[in-house]
Structure 1
Amino acid sequence: MDTWQHHAERLASHVTDPDSRWLDPIARVARHELVPRWWERDKTGGWQLRDGATDHEAWMRAAYADRSLIIRVGSLHADDAKPGDQPHGMPTSSATLPSLLVRMLRHGRLGPGLSFLDLGTGAGGLTAYACHRLGDQHVTSVDVDPYLTNAAGARLATMGLHPEFVTADVTDHLPGTYERIVSTVGLPTGRGLAPVVGALMPGGRIATTLGRTCLIITGWKHGDGDVIGQVERDMAGFMLTRSGDDFPPALAELSALARDAGGEETTTGGYPVVDLDNAWELRSMLEVTTPGVELAYEQRDRTRTAYMVHPDGSWARASADGTNPPEVHQGGPQRLWTALERIRHRLNAEGSLPLLGARVRITPDGVCHLSRGNWHATMGVR
C-alpha cells in the first residue's frame, strides 16, 4: 500500500511549482488525517456520508486530490453523523482544495517571523501549511465553530503542530492583531468587515474574498487605518462567513413566490438564462450594484430557469427553452432581472466589467470603495 507521504508529494507537485516555497509544506501535511469523514452528493442530489476508515483507497484518492471536501452540511458535521443520516441545508464548512489555499497564501505575502491569522479554520489545511512555512508560534487560526477549532487543534497536534486556535465570530469581534491575514470565507462589507480591518496591524496585508462575490481583495494597511489595495485578476468562491451554527435562513416565502407568481411585470429578456452562481464575474458585479440578492437555478430537459430574491421583497424569475430569450416575471420594489441585464449589456458593449484590477480602499468601518478609470462603486454603506 502506498504511504500517505507518496500521495502528499504528488499533490504538492500538482498544485505548486518545482521552486515554490509551498511545495514542502504541502508534501509534509497528512491531509487525510484532517478529513477522516466527509459528505458527497449522491445521485438523487442528497448527501452521502463517506468514512475514510472503511475505504482506505477512496480516502487517499479524495484527500490527496485537488478538490474541496465538504465536512459540514447545515449544523451536522460529518464526524458526528451516523450512517444513513441525511442532513439538510447548505454546506457550511469544507476542506478547501489545496491549489486555492496556495493561491490565497501567495496573495497574503507571508514571510518569516510575521504574525499570521488564518480566518476560517475549516479542516485546518491552510493552518497546517502556514505552520510548516512560518513556524506554529507565528500562526493563529479562527473559526466561529468551536468543534472545528477543537478538532483541527487536536489533529494538528498529532502532527507536532501547535498553533493558537480561537473560536470567535469575526464579524463581531476579533481578538489580537496580526501582520498578515488570509480569509477563506467571504467577509461581509461594512460592520462585518470592520473587526478584521481593526485586527490588521499598520503595514500589514490582508487577502480575502467579499461575501456573495468571487472577488479576491488584497491590500496593505496604512497609518490612517485605511487598507489600500486592489481586486486581484484572480477569483475564488468561498462560503459566506457565519455568525452561528448555520447560515441565515433563506427567504423561503419569497422564493416560493418567485417560483409561481405572475408578478407585477412580465417581459421578454434580452439575454439567455444563466446560472449566476457559476458566472462568477456577473455574480460579483450584481452584488456590487444590487447587494443582498439570493439566487437559485434549475434545468429540466432544455428548460432553464433562474430565480432571484432580495430581503426588500423584490423577486424575479426568468425561464426559457435553451438559449432562447426568456420570459421574465418580476415583482417588488426593485427589478432584479433588469439590474442583471444592465450588467450583461455593459459586458457585451465594453467587452469586460471594471471589477478585476480595480483599486480598493477599505475604511476602518469596513466600507469598500472600488474604482477603475471613471467607474466608482461603494460596498457596505448602510
Structure 2
Amino acid sequence: MSTSAQLRDALTDKLTEGGTLADPEWRAAVRAIPRELFTGAYFRVVEGSIPTACRVVREGEPGWLEGVYSDETLITQLDGRVRPDDVAEGTVTGSFSSSSTLPSLVLRMWQQLGAETGHRVLEIGTGTGYSTALGAHRLGDANLTSVEYDPVVGGAAAAALKAVGLAPRLIIGDGLRGDPDGGPYDRLIATCSVRYLPLPWLHQVKPGGKILVTLSGWSYANALALLEVTGPGEATGRFLPGYTSFMIARPHDRPPRPALALLPGDERPSLIDPTKLGDWTGSWVAQLAAPSAERMGAGAEQILWDVSTGSQARTAPDGKGGWTVVQRGPVRLWDRVEQAVRDWQAAGEPHQERFGITVSAAGQRVWLDGEDGPGWDLPI
C-alpha cells in the first residue's frame, strides 16, 4: 500500500509531466501538503444512478487514500448541510454544495493568477482549505486571506490548516463582500462562480492587480476570466482557454421555483439548431443572452424558463429536418438566444478565449472579438 508521501510525489510528477505544474515552488507546495487532512471522508457518485446518488468513502477504507490523491474533485457536502459523517450507511442524494476541487484545476488557476512572492492575495471560498494551504505554503501566511461563507465548512478548514502548521487569515462571511478591512490586495482568486463581478472586489484589489473568477449563471454554464483592475470599480479582461466550472456562490444562485408547468404559447420555426445549446461555449452564449433563465431538456428539445418573469421557451424537431419553438411571457427568451447564437456562429463558433469583459460605472459587459463587437450585459 502506498503512503501519503508516495502518493503526493506521484501526483506531483503526474501534474508536472502533464504541464500543469510549471513552477517549482508550486511543485514544492503539492509535495508538502497532505490533502487527506483536508478531505477526510468524501462522497463518490454512484455510476448510472438516477437521480444522482452518492456513497461515502471513509477514511481507512480500501481505495480511500488513492481517491484523495486522484486528480478528481471530491464532494464534501450536499444541500448546504449534509457532510459525509452525517450519513450512516447506504447512498444519499442531494445537490453538491462544497468540494475539494481537482488539484490540477486548483494549481492551474493559482499559476494563471500570477501570484508571486510578496503579493497579497484574497481567496474567495476556503472550502476544505486545501487550495488555501497550497497558497499559504507558496506565498506565506501573512500574504493570504481566505473567506468562507459556511461556518461549518470554514471551521473544518481552519482545523486542517492548523494541523499542517499554517495560519493564513481566515474570515467567515459573505465572500461577495470580500474583505472590507484588509485591502488593498494585489490578487483575488475565486473558487466559486458568480453571475457578475461583485463591486467590493473591484475596490479591494489595487489598480494593476488581477482578479481570476469563473462567471456562471442560472443555466450553470461557466467561463473563466482573468481581469486587470484599471481603477476603483473598473476592470477589463479576457476569458481563458480550457473548461473550468465551479459551484455558484450561494447568494448568486437562482431562487427556488415551483414545479415546471409547460404552458401554451406562440409557435414559430427556430432559426438555429437547438442542439447548439449543448456545446460548452454555445450554452454559455445562450446564458449571456437570457441570464435569468434556467435551461433544461437536451438535444433538440430544449426548455428555457425565466425564473424572474415566468417566461418560457421550448423547442422540438418539426419532423421535416428543422425545429419549432414555443414562447410565452414578457421576455421572448428564444429570440434573444437565437440572436446571440447566430452572432457566435457568424464569428466561427469560437471558444471563450475570443471573448472579453469590461467593467465600469456603466455596467458589466461581455463582448466577442472587441468592445465594438457583439456584446451582452451581465445581470447586476
Does the alignment reach a TM-score above 0.5? yes
The one-character-per-residue Cα deviations of 1:167-193 (angstroms, maximum 9, x if unpaired) are 111334533212111112112326xx1
Partner of 2:234: 226
Structure 1 residue 275, shift from structure 2 partner = 8.2
Distance in 1 (CA, whole Å) between partners of 2:175 and 2:362 is 14
Partner of 2:126: 121
Does residue 45 of structure 1 match 2:51? yes
Partner of 1:8: 8
Distance in 2 (CA, whole Å) between partners of 1:126 and 1:10 is 18
Q: Out of 102-111 and 213-222, give the one that drifted further.
A: 213-222
Structure 1 residue 248, shift from structure 2 partner = 4.5
Partner of 1:279: 279
Partner of 1:61: 66
Structure 1 residue 58, shift from structure 2 partner = 2.1
Secondary structure at 1:160 match in 2: coil
Equivalences for 1:301-340 in 2 at 5 Å?
Answer: 305-310=301-306, 311-320=308-317, 325-340=322-337
Secondary structure at 2:261 match in 1: helix
Kept in 2: contact 1:358–1:371 (CA 8 A): yes
Q: Could you tell me which amino acid in structure 2 is paired with residue 52 of structure 1? A: R
Distance in 1 (CA, whole Å) between partners of 2:319 and 2:8 is 43
Q: Out of 138-147 and 355-364, give the one that drifted further.
A: 355-364
Structure 1 residue 197, shift from structure 2 partner = 1.3
Kept in 2: contact 1:52–1:58 (CA 8 A): no
The one-character-per-residue Cα deviations of 1:326-348 (angstroms, maximum 9, x if unpaired) are 45332212232343333333344
Equivalences for 1:139-218 in 2 at 5 Å?
Answer: 139-172=144-177, 174-175=179-180, 176-177=182-183, 178-189=185-196, 193-212=198-217, 213-218=221-226
Distance in 2 (CA, whole Å) between partners of 1:140 and 1:322 is 57
Partner of 2:138: 133
Partner of 2:266: 265
Q: 1:27 to 1:313 in 2, by over 3 A?
A: same
Kept in 2: contact 1:354–1:375 (CA 8 A): no
Distance in 1 (CA, whole Å) between partners of 2:276 and 2:97 is 21
Gaps of 5+ in 2: none
Equivalences for 1:80-99 in 2 at 5 Å?
Answer: 80-84=85-89, 89-99=94-104
Distance in 2 (CA, whole Å) between partners of 1:60 and 1:112 is 32
TM-score by length of 1: 0.85
Aligned length: 367
Does residue 251 of structure 1 match 2:252? no
The one-character-per-residue Cα deviations of 1:229-285 (angstroms, maximum 9, x if unpaired) are 2222344111111139xx4443234xx113xx3x21234445554384x63211221
Distance in 1 (CA, whole Å) between partners of 2:165 and 2:368 is 45
Kept in 2: contact 1:37–1:49 (CA 8 A): no
Partner of 2:375: 377
Q: 1:132 to 1:242 in 2, by over 3 A?
A: same
Kept in 2: contact 1:272–1:320 (CA 8 A): no
Does residue 290 of structure 1 match 2:290? yes
Gaps of 5+ in 1: none
Structure 1 residue 196, shift from structure 2 partner = 1.5
TM-score by length of 2: 0.85
Structure 1 residue 306, shift from structure 2 partner = 2.6
Q: 1:352 to 1:154 in 2, by over 3 A?
A: same
Equivalences for 1:18-29 in 2 at 5 Å?
Answer: 19-21=22-24, 22-29=26-33
Does residue 102 of structure 1 match 2:107? yes
Kept in 2: contact 1:198–1:364 (CA 8 A): no
Kept in 2: contact 1:282–1:343 (CA 8 A): no
Distance in 2 (CA, whole Å) between partners of 1:365 and 1:119 is 25
Identity %: 24
Kept in 1: contact 2:51–2:93 (CA 8 A): no
Kept in 1: contact 2:56–2:87 (CA 8 A): no
Kept in 2: contact 1:142–1:166 (CA 8 A): yes
Distance in 2 (CA, whole Å) between partners of 1:342 and 1:289 is 8
Q: Which has the higher contact order (CA 8 A, sep 6+)?
A: 1
Partner of 2:342: 345
Structure 1 residue 152, shift from structure 2 partner = 0.7
Distance in 2 (CA, whole Å) between partners of 1:184 and 1:329 is 37
Q: 1:54 to 1:379 in 2, by over 3 A?
A: same
Kept in 1: contact 2:124–2:178 (CA 8 A): no
Q: 1:318 to 1:37 in 2, by over 3 A?
A: farther
Distance in 2 (CA, whole Å) between partners of 1:89 and 1:323 is 40
Structure 1 residue 108, shift from structure 2 partner = 0.8
Q: Could you tell me which amino acid in structure 1 is paired with residue 303 of structure 2? A: Y
Secondary structure at 1:77 match in 2: coil
